[in-house]
């Protein structure tokens, strides 16, 4: 009898086992695809006359999801629009998203459909303090949002409220200068974003709730740590918000545990700071910082809107998440551009030296007299907007450039692409601050295509404060130091840290103190 060798049976057994595993995986895949198909891929009900713009080629089932998950989404989308046009529709599974990449289409949307696109329509985990439903960033366009927007403009960031906290910013600016000077004396390298983060986070902590890094309990540092954790969850939150409804049907609470863990710790920290503020307010009846002002609104029986404690906490979380890293990244990118463009550095320094002189440190009250510095910051924001994609939702069906968009369709405006659109900007990839030294007429035109702070009523309310943070930080670095760059050249490669566009290789350089600026005492 013919005997097959033992190892043959071994091999057969292994093959059968492997085949069985492959089959099992295949069956699972088929099952999962069918499930995806029924959950995401079933044709949406067409609204009458619904006619979306062109959709570029996409992958089966997932559509353009891979582009949204790429590390530099704004660039992938910019590439797509430069090939297929400034008004497109992309899809994630079967969910359509309108993609806008030119100034003219963005302008039409903000001019004629502003209220219609004034809700973002994205909410991750309802009960989370980070990007949940209690915050302003994801609040639908309605009473709560209107109350908060007005409150921020008239109570928290109005010129006289900012005037009251000017002393805090001057102290922190001096501390920023001293820290750089210390590094210069030791000939040590500085990571610009770290120094800027200390300055901005500390200033904002003091302005909003009277806390700073230097205080012993370290609350500002804990806030900062938790904000960093929130940034690191951004992509997960985005996915959770996108797939929330279909996955809810399957009982999968995507990333809920991680998101709630950060949210709970923020809640605990803010609760203790709020209790302290309430007790102090009861004793002194005097509001000193933003938290006091919000608590007074909470207690106001006559207030137009009855704000809740959860909304107050969510506001502070979003204030830190939205205000610190955006300003830090802008400071870092702008400084990188200044160091890479010696002619800009020279002109800027001449302006500061002549307007401020050499006997004192620059202050925020100097900014109106420094038009070139303002132009440099604007140009930094044009080329490197920290939030390159603006996300909104069309609440109602509408017509854009002859297309009919159904209600509840997501909208993404690629502000990065708009601000580098060669049809709107001369030499769009060049750092040319002069373009912002314009006449009033030209200025009006610029507003239409300049979107680092978004647009319309849903645009960023913190533009003025961020100009102060970034303008003064850049002012100090240029006024007081020469900068030696490691390796002689700045690496301008982009990366994405958390939710903001950042430098793939953080800017590190050694400050060398200019002789006349060695002995500035505090401006106060």
To ligand HEM, the closest distance from the beta carbon of 476 in angstroms equals 17
364: DSSP letter: G
Closer residue to ligand HEM (CB): 92 or 390? 390
Residue 517 forms beta bridges with which residues? Answer: none
Q: What are the DSSP calls for 121-146, one per residue?
A: ---S-TT-SSSSTTSSTT--TTHHHH
Q: At how many degrees (to 10) do helices 256-284 and 219-232 cross?
A: 150
Closer residue to ligand HEM (CB): 254 or 379? 379
To ligand HEM, the closest distance from the beta carbon of 136 in angstroms equals 5
CA 62 – CA 36 distance, rounded (Å): 9
**Residue 234 neighbours by CB distance under 10 Å:** 18
Q: Strand 190-191 and strand 95-100: pairing?
A: unpaired
The owner of tokens 């809920």 is 256
H or E segment and range at residue 124: none
Q: What SS3 state is found at 427?
A: coil
Closer residue to ligand HEM (CB): 41 or 333? 333
Closer residue to ligand HEM (CB): 181 or 417? 417
The owner of tokens 């099992």 is 24
Pick the closest to residue 376 from 485, 467, 263 (CA basis).
467
460 marked as part of a ligand binding site: yes
To ligand HEM, the closest distance from the beta carbon of 87 in angstroms equals 18
To ligand HEM, the closest distance from the beta carbon of 110 in angstroms equals 9
To ligand HEM, the closest distance from the beta carbon of 220 in angstroms equals 16
CA 132 – CA 322 distance, rounded (Å): 14
3: DSSP letter: P
Closer residue to ligand HEM (CB): 254 or 412? 412
Closer residue to ligand HEM (CB): 203 or 479? 203
Closer residue to ligand HEM (CB): 277 or 458? 458
Closer residue to ligand HEM (CB): 472 or 517? 472
Tokens of 390: 């603006």
To ligand HEM, the closest distance from the beta carbon of 148 in angstroms equals 8
Residue 338 forms beta bridges with which residues? Answer: none
Closer residue to ligand HEM (CB): 319 or 509? 319
Pick the closest to residue 327 from 421, 235, 192 (CA basis).
192
CA 503 – CA 88 distance, rounded (Å): 29
To ligand HEM, the closest distance from the beta carbon of 419 in angstroms equals 11
In a 10 Å sphere around its CB, with 0-12 CB exposed, 13-18 middle and 19+ buried, how is residue 286 labelled?
Answer: exposed
To ligand HEM, the closest distance from the beta carbon of 113 in angstroms equals 13
CA 477 – CA 193 distance, rounded (Å): 13
CA 453 – CA 255 distance, rounded (Å): 29
To ligand HEM, the closest distance from the beta carbon of 451 in angstroms equals 7
By CB under 6 A, name the binding residues for ligand HEM. 136-137, 149, 318-319, 322-323, 326-327, 330, 385-387, 390, 452-455, 458-462, 465-466
Using CB positions, name the residue nearest to ligand HEM: 454
SS3 annotation, 7-40: HHHHHHHHHHHHHHHHHHHHHHHHHHHHHHHHHH
**Residue 22 neighbours by CB distance under 10 Å:** 10
Binding residues: 460
| Binding-site residues from annotation for heme | 460
């Amino acid at each position: 009898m013919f005997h097959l060798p033992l190892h043959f049976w071994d091999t057969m057994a292994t093959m059968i086992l492997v085949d069985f595993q492959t089959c099992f995986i295949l069956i699972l895949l088929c099952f999962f695809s069918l499930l995806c198909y029924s959950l995401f891929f079933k044709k949406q009900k067409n609204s009458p006359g619904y006619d979306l713009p062109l959709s570029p080629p996409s992958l089966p089932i997932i559509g353009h999801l891979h582009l949204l998950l790429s590390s530099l989404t704004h660039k992938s989308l910019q590439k797509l629009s430069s090939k297929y046009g400034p008004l497109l529709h992309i899809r994630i599974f079967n969910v359509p998203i309108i993609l806008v990449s030119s100034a003219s289409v963005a302008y039409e949307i903000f001019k004629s459909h502003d209220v219609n696109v004034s809700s973002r329509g994205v909410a991750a985990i309802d009960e989370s303090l980070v990007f949940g439903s209690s915050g302003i960033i994801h609040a639908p366009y309605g009473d709560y949002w209107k109350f908060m927007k007005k409150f921020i403009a008239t109570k928290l960031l109005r010129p006289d409220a900012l005037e009251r906290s000017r002393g805090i910013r001057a102290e922190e600016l001096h501390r920023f200068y001293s820290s750089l000077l210390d590094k210069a004396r030791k000939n040590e390298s500085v990571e610009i974003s770290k120094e800027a983060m200390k300055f901005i986070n500390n200033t904002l902590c003091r302005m909003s709730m009277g806390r700073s890094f230097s205080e012993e309990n370290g609350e500002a540092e804990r806030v900062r740590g938790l904000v960093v954790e929130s940034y690191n969850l951004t992509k997960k939150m985005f996915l959770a918000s996108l797939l929330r409804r279909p996955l809810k049907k399957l009982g999968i609470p995507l990333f809920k545990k991680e998101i709630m863990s950060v949210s709970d710790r923020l809640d605990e920290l803010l609760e203790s700071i709020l209790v302290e503020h309430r007790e102090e307010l009861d004793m002194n009846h005097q509001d000193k910082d933003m938290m006091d002002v919000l608590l007074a609104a909470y207690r106001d029986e006559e207030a137009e809107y009855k704000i809740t404690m959860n909304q107050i906490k969510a506001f502070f979380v979003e204030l830190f998440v939205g205000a610190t890293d955006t300003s830090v990244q802008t400071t870092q990118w702008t400084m990188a551009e200044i160091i890479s463009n010696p002619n800009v550095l020279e002109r800027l320094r001449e302006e500061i030296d002549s307007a401020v002189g050499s006997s004192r440190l620059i202050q925020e009250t100097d900014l109106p007299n420094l038009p070139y510095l303002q132009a440099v910051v604007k140009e930094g924001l044009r080329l490197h907007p920290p939030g390159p994609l603006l996300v909104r939702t069309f609440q109602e069906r509408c017509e854009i450039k002859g297309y009919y968009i159904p209600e509840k369709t997501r909208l993404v405006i690629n502000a990065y692409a708009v601000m580098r659109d060669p049809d709107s900007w001369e030499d769009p990839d060049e750092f040319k601050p002069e373009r912002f030294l314009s006449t009033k007429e030209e200025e009006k035109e610029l507003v239409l295509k300049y979107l680092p702070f978004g647009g319309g009523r849903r645009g960023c309310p913190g533009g003025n404060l961020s100009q102060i943070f970034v303008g003064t930080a850049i002012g100090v670095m240029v006024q007081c130091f020469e900068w030696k760059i490691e390796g002689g050249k700045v690496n301008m490669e982009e990366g994405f840290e958390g939710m903001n566009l950042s430098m793939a290789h953080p800017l590190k350089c050694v400050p060398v103190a200019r002789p006349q600026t060695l002995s500035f005492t505090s401006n106060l």
